[in-house]
Every structure is written in C-alpha cells, then in structure tokens.
A = this chain, B = another copy of it.
Amino acid sequence: MSQYKEILLTARPDGKPVGPHLFEVINKGIPTPGKGEMLIKQTHMSMDPAMLGWMTPDEDSYIPPVALNTRMRSSGYGEVITSNHPDFSPGDNVMGMMGWTEYTLSDGKGLNKLPAGVDGETALAVFGLPGLTATQGLFNIGKPQAGETLVVTGAAGSVGSMVGQLAKAEGLRVIGVVGSDEKTDWIVNELGFDGAVNYKTDDVASKLESLTPNGVDVFFENTGGPVQQHIFDRMNVHGRIVVCGMIADYTAASPAPGPNWIPLIKKRILIQGFAMPDHLHEAPRLLSQLNPYVAAGKIKYRTHVLDGLESAMSALNLFFTGANKGKLLIRL
C-alpha cells in the first residue's frame, strides 16, 4: 500500500455540529523522507477541546487558526518508519503535532521521542497535552498546599481527572464537578476524589457547600457554565482560580457573564488564564514535575477510543455533550 489518507479543513464551523461537511478526505502517495527528515506512521491521534478554537480565525487566539484547505491540526503518537534524521531511528516511538493523517514527514522539530514501553494511549492521555496542562495549571498557578480544598470542573475529563489525582497526591481535599452519575462513580470510587457534584442533577450550591465545609482554596476551571458562580462563591481568602477551559461557553452566541469582582478584593483572589502554547518550551521541566506521580502509580486514566481517521470528523462534538468517557483518541 503506497497510498495514505489525510484530512483537510475546508470550511469554518458554522454553528452546526462539527462533521464531515467541514472537511475533505484525500488520498496521497506515501512520500520518501529527504535529507534530515523521517517518515512517521501515526497510530494514535489526540482529540482535544482546544482544536475547536484552532478551526476558527480569532485575532485574540494564542496560535493561528488552521488555514483552509490544509491538514487539520492535532497531536499524535506514532512510529518512525524510515529516517534520515540523526536523532531518530526506525522503530522509535514519537509524540508531537502531526495532524489528521496516517503518515507524515517530519524534520524532528517539536517531536519528542518516548521511552520504549510507553504505548500510544498512555503517551497521549498522560504525557501529552493533558498531563502538561494539568501540571502547569495545578502546580505553577494553583500552588496547592496540603490540607487545602480544590474543586475541579470537567473532573472526569483528561485534564480534570489528572488535576484531581495530582492534588489528592499532594494531600488536598478534592471535589470534582461532572455531568453524570457514571463519572461521579469513576472519580470517587476509582480515582479517590473526596466527593463529586453532578451539575445536571444535584442542587449545586447546597451540594458544594456540604462537600467543601472549609471553603475552596483552588478552583481549576475547565468548563464554565452556571456552576462557575457557585464555586466562585465558596472561594476562600487568598484563593487561586486557574482558568484552563470554558467548553460550556465556547459555542454560545453571547457567552454568559462571569462573577462580579467585589469578592476578588475582599478575598484577595488570583484568577489566571493560561494556554499551553506558552509553555510547550517548558515541556521537559513539566514532564519531570509530573513523572514522579505517574511512576508512583498515582495517576489512573481511561481512554475513549474511536477507530479510523474519518471518525475524527465528528469526534469533537463529544466535548459539547460530555459523552466521551476519558481521554478522546483516534486509533489509526
């Protein structure tokens, strides 16, 4: 087989569910790497909420959007097939931005070689963007202290589940906000969270109050939506709010307003938004912060795997409904 498939972004999101009408699947001949290049066969593609932002031009965004009629952007995991690059050999497992494609050429820039034995699911679910994001946001912005209380939204998601487990390992009381009883069960009974709020069925304010008797010191925000104000109301003096994602508001025509700022003064609260492209150059340091927790068996994860390149085209909708269970991946 000398052909492979690749998917181009051909239209901007139009308010309808993201699907094949925004993309074109093309067939291409498998290329031969030039000087200093290598050919990679991608085996796993990571699907992340940030990709929704990459599809739409926005002068405020932190990285340029994907240009129309070019390969859709994503990070992934694969194997080096042939290499003219001095640092990579056939059989090496690599992770990096490869896009929606079965094969890609690379000059090695932005690509990380993984230790043997780290499979694609672990790589993308733990050491990829979710792990880097959780580590940067929790430790370097949230600055958690043993004995404090953390609340994380999107708690069963790839970032949220890791934030909660890292905070538990640090000795915090950890409460997760989720959207189903199945997710409640997973984060409490499998991951060891101290409690969960199901924002779809619980009385959020009273449940939060009973689960955070000492208030909230760190609020790790992955979702936005009405639950935000309730958590904000529970913040303690000198609390830290890490703003990582606002998935509930991304598609709203006019996003809901946020909390009034008076409590920021009364409680001297910090709010810090962040995005990983600012910190990818720190990846080695972040991975060394994260790795001891993984090595000590503190980090469990689960993946939601879809099969085949074409399944990527509709996969992003799962973030809006919360229907994915665990890190969303495409297996090629």
Residues on B with C-beta less than 8 A from A259 are 257-258
Q: Does A269 contact B (CB under 8 A)?
A: yes
Q: What string of 1s and 0s marks CB contacts (under 8 Å) between A13-44 and chain B? A: 00000000000000000000000000000000
Residues on B with C-beta less than 8 A from A246 are 260-262, 265
Is B257 a contact partner of A249 (Cβ separation < 8 A)?
no
Residues on B with C-beta less than 8 A from A261 are 221, 224, 228, 243, 246, 249, 258, 271, 273
Residues on B with C-beta less than 8 A from A257 are 257-260
Is B256 a contact partner of A260 (Cβ separation < 8 A)?
yes
Q: Within A257-281, which residues are at the interface with B (CB < 8 Å)?
A: 257-275, 278
Is B275 a contact partner of A265 (Cβ separation < 8 A)?
yes
Q: Does A186 contact B (CB under 8 A)?
A: no
Is A262 a contact partner of B250 (Cβ separation < 8 A)?
yes
Q: Does A293 contact B (CB under 8 A)?
A: no
Shortest CB distance A142–B (Å): 14
CA distance A274 to B246 in the complex (A): 25
Q: Does A114 contact B (CB under 8 A)?
A: no
Q: Within A223-248, which residues are at the interface with B (CB < 8 Å)?
A: 224, 228, 237, 243-246
Is A255 a contact partner of B260 (Cβ separation < 8 A)?
yes
Q: Does A189 contact B (CB under 8 A)?
A: no
CA distance A263 to B271 in the complex (A): 12
Q: Does A203 contact B (CB under 8 A)?
A: no
Q: Does A119 contact B (CB under 8 A)?
A: no
Interface centre among A58, A246, A250 (most CB of B within 10 A): A246
Question: Known contacts A62-B237, A269-B273, A271-B270: does B264 contact A243 (CB below 8 Å)?
Answer: yes
Q: Within A200-222, which residues are at the interface with B (CB < 8 Å)?
A: 221
Interface centre among A243, A262, A266 (most CB of B within 10 A): A262
Q: Does A61 contact B (CB under 8 A)?
A: yes
Residues on B with C-beta less than 8 A from A263 are 60, 273
Residues on B with C-beta less than 8 A from A256 are 260
CA distance A237 to B273 in the complex (A): 10
Q: What string of 1s and 0s marks CB contacts (under 8 Å) between A281-323 and chain B? A: 0000000000000000000000000000000000000000000
Shortest CB distance A50–B (Å): 9
Can you list 16 A-B pairs with a CB-CB distance of less than 8 A? A60-B266, A62-B267, A224-B260, A224-B261, A228-B261, A245-B265, A246-B261, A249-B262, A258-B259, A264-B272, A265-B274, A266-B275, A267-B273, A268-B274, A269-B273, A270-B272
